[in-house]
Amino acid sequence: MLGSGFIGRFYADSIQGLRSKDKIVMIYSRRDEQAKKFAEDYTCDHFTTDLEAAIAHPDVDMVCIALPNNLHEEAVMLCCKHKKAVMTTKPLGRNASEAKRMLDAVEQAGIFNGYLEDLVYTPKFIKALDSVKKGALGKILWAKSREAHPGPHSEWFWDLEIAGGGCMLDLGCHCVEITRSYIGKDIKPVEVMCWADTQVKPIPAEDHAIALVKYENGAIGQFEVSWTFRGGLDLRDEVMGSEGTIWVNSFLRTGFDMFTTGKGADYVAEKAETNTGWLFPVGDELNELGYNHMFTDMFNAFENGTQPREVFYDGYIVNAVLDAAYKSNKTKKWEPVDLEVWRGLEGVTKDSVYVDFDADHYLVKEEITHYGAKKLILKEKVSGKIVERIC
């Protein structure tokens, strides 16, 4: 494990939880005392403040990168040098160029690579995606993902050079991969329109952003992200298809509400702003945030010599979409997604979802009214005229 901070510990809790056979044998951290503490907490055999020594250690089969964004590339390159399987937290890079260099390097080195996008492994997401894949929503037309909270927990996130962006890179990377998965990972994201601004925090990066991502098949992805939202961690998805709708609330108001005056109050849930009054605890954060299913997929794939669901290529696509969003926010125009590597479908056209009523008409709408009449709105195929029939 590289990094003993916030996500390193969430990952460790997940990897070693529930009688797991997986074991963190080595922890790298910047400071000796942090490395030692983590090694004690998770009974790791080794700890070090030497990044390369951690990666090269013969006991290490797979490296998990849980470091600030500016250090992902250096760590990935060392994994390539020592031919170690690697998993990297999100975002893969600070931009698509960085992500592309990492993608090229792992593929040239021929090493296992996993992209740790936990939010496409949450139990709710897995179930929702399964329904989408079985056609329960018909053709996916619009997929929205929202992640908003009051801002990150460590100083480096707020430094534009180290982090590479503000809330759009930090949280938008989750949303892009969620919406892309619903629309279809083989469908090309083509253009992005974005609004972003720094509304509250004294930082050069954006603390609030909204963007639309157009896909080649006519579907639209949308993300809303914020580091200025008050009230906890707001994680929600909405998917609309020609045959149905899914709404997912992953963190707040999930059916677990608690009131306390504050007596015995402690940690409630990630980014909760208060531990008194009405609260929204989360039953099992490791599971609800997808970490357990994510590592199960990663380790199964590693052992079986297959690919996990999320690989560096996915991280690269996400970075490319976000680069276009940053550009659009500057130019105020739709900006193309510049994809040097694309492995999905090419030239997909917008399918017709028109429903035939009979040989001469399309069905526009069918409704039973409050006064008992069944109304049919039809379109004549030849003339294009809209007509109404009351049955």
Site residues for ligand NAD per CB under 6 A? 3-8, 29-30, 34, 66-69, 71, 89-90, 116, 118, 154, 156
Q: Which residue has the tokens 């997401």?
A: 125
Residue 30 or 46: which CB sits closer to ligand NAD?
Answer: 30
Tokens of 177: 């991969």
Please provide residue 179's backbone torsions phi and psi, each rounded to the nearest 5 degrees. Answer: -70, -40
286-321 burial: b if 16+ Cβ within 10 Å, else e:
bbbbbbbbbbbbbbebbeeeeebbbbbbbbbbbbbb
The distance of closest approach from Cβ of residue 94 to ligand NAD in the complex, given in angstroms and rounded to an integer, is 10
Output the DSSP codes for 127-153. HHHHHHHTTTT-SEEEEEEEEE-S--S
Q: Measured at CB, which residue is nearest to ligand NAD?
A: 5
**Which residue lies nearer to ligand NAD by CB, 67 or 79?**
67
Cβ at position 78, least distance to ligand NAD in Å = 13
Query: Would you state the structure tokens that stand for residue 61, as one six-digit string?
Result: 């089969």
Token readout for 42 is 């998770």
271 torsion bin: left (phi>0), alpha (psi -120 to 50), beta (else):
left
- Tell me which residue of 118, 115, 197, 205 sits closest to 157, measured CA to CA: 205
Residue pair 64/87 in contact (Cβ under 8 Å)? The answer is: yes
For residue 222, the minimal CB distance to ligand NAD (Å) is 20
Minimum distance from residue 323 beta carbon to ligand NAD (Å): 17
Shortest approach of ligand NAD to residue 241 CB, angstroms?
A: 27
Residue closer to ligand NAD, measured from CB, 122 or 217: 122
User: If we measure between CA atoms, which residue out of 35, 45, 44 comes closest to residue 15?
Assistant: 44
Residue 284 CB, shortest distance to ligand NAD, in Å, is: 15
In angstroms, give the least distance from the CB of 304 to ligand NAD. 24
Residue 301 structure tokens: 């794939």
Q: What is the C-alpha to C-alpha distance for residues 6 and 90, in angstroms, rounded to an integer?
A: 13
Nearer to ligand NAD, 172 or 241 (CB): 172
Q: How far apart are CA 390 and CA 380, in angstroms?
A: 16
How far is Cα 255 from Cα 340, in angstroms, rounded to an integer?
44
Cβ proximity to ligand NAD: between 217 and 250 the closer is 250
Q: How far is the CB of 119 from ligand NAD (least distance, A)?
A: 7
CB nearer to ligand NAD: give 215 or 223. 223
The smaller minimum CB distance to ligand NAD, of residues 87 and 240, is found at 87
Q: Which is nearer to ligand NAD, 89 or 181 (CB)?
A: 89
